[in-house]
Structure 1
């Protein structure tokens, strides 16, 4: 009889774990508009699950699209996640109750990076870079259309079209990427050509604050791919 009770308890816990895994997958799928492969692994005891705490979760996704950003591969690991377990067991959507620190490894191939150029997140970031390098290229008077990104070893080439009432200008921007600290990115060895005529070539460096919610350990470009590894806070 005790063995039967143990088996029933084990089946019940497996049921709860499976339910949580499915709920987490549904929540993740709701965050992206497209995903090719999605794998979720949960490690937790019965007491931890029923208290709403998930000590360890691993998530792997390939060819996911988040707010227009095309992500080739992403591996995430999170610990000590607090969720609304009571609501989940009633069939309601999973919801985070506290901020979660997520460690991740991300790879974006150049094709996916170029497919992301129309996303507001990436285009806004690139616009900020351009205006910082060339303050006269203000979005108020000169709309910018980003056309291509090419990746080399720690080097990035950006191509854009800037339009004005009188003309359309092609810009080619070449720069090096360097991570100065977990929250600070530096651009250096910058060259800019306007309609294939040199416009800017200097040794000046420009830094960008990535924010307190990130802690980046690695961010580098290699031929055909961008690699990022570090921690980010996911807020409820």
Structure 2
């Protein structure tokens, strides 16, 4: 009986530690975003692994998370080989990653959520910087664009905005297609510009964008009204 009670006490302690760790992980995830509607976290680890602060796998599911003003409709992730400051967490301190964590998963962004993110500095600046790079003649940095709408079609993105010049504001529509060249390289092509509601200008050049060594995308799909991304990214401490 004493041995059974000892095992029961140990199991209860592990269960409490798991609950504390899960709560700390949720708090850390919520701190990375400004808003989140739904968040589910499941820790997969043995008793010994939890006590050592090493977690082989954590699955995360979230909906309508807002990261730096960018609204993500749905995200499902699996993080592996995680090391955390378990001793500090058990003392009530915030969770902290001790090593870079590889995270694989799926991300979905609906067109309406993407358009709701247009006011964010992250998205609007990224779009403007992109066009200055690939279309310096038609979209110079000296003429900022106030983005109005993004339309997602089959393997195509349509951007609508208002170009601001010294004395007037004129409408602008840009169409482009994208495809993955590798896990971290994206190619933009078939760029069409409709300035001032006039004739369409076509750019037959192809532009490659390097997304960085911490990114490894396996799938990037554009379908009417939705963007779907599947891949891996490193989360650094």
TM over 0.5: yes
| 2:211 matched residue in structure 1 | 210
The separation in 1 between residues aligned to 2:204 and 2:16, in whole angstroms, is 60
| 1:107 matched residue in structure 2 | 108
1:166-177 superposed matches below 5 A: 166-177=167-178
1:1-236 superposed matches below 5 A: 1-136=2-137, 137-139=139-141, 141-236=142-237
1:164 to partner: Cα distance: 1.4
Name stretches of at least 5 consecutive residues in structure 1 with no aligned partner: none
Q: 3-state DSSP class of the match of 2:92?
A: coil
1:169 to partner: Cα distance: 2.1
Alignment deviations for residues 19-38 of structure 1 (CA, whole Å, 9 cap, x no partner): 00000001111111111100
Alignment deviations for residues 136-184 of structure 1 (CA, whole Å, 9 cap, x no partner): 3333x21221111001111110012110112212110111111111011
Moved over 6 A (4+): none
Alignment deviations for residues 44-99 of structure 1 (CA, whole Å, 9 cap, x no partner): 11211111111100010001101101000000101111111111000000011111
Task: Say how many residue pairs are matched.
Answer: 235
Name stretches of at least 5 consecutive residues in structure 2 with no aligned partner: none
Contact 1:185 1:207 in 2 (8 A): yes
Contact 1:186 1:206 in 2 (8 A): yes
Q: If the length of structure 2 is used for normalisation, what is the TM-score?
A: 0.96
Contact 1:177 1:220 in 2 (8 A): no
The separation in 2 between residues aligned to 1:215 and 1:93, in whole angstroms, is 29
Q: If the length of structure 1 is used for normalisation, what is the TM-score?
A: 0.96
The separation in 1 between residues aligned to 2:134 and 2:85, in whole angstroms, is 46
The separation in 1 between residues aligned to 2:204 and 2:143, in whole angstroms, is 26
Q: 3-state DSSP class of the match of 2:23?
A: helix
Contact 2:128 2:144 in 1 (8 A): no
Alignment deviations for residues 91-142 of structure 1 (CA, whole Å, 9 cap, x no partner): 0000111111100200000011011112222112211221123213333x21
Q: Alignment RMSD, CA only?
A: 1.1
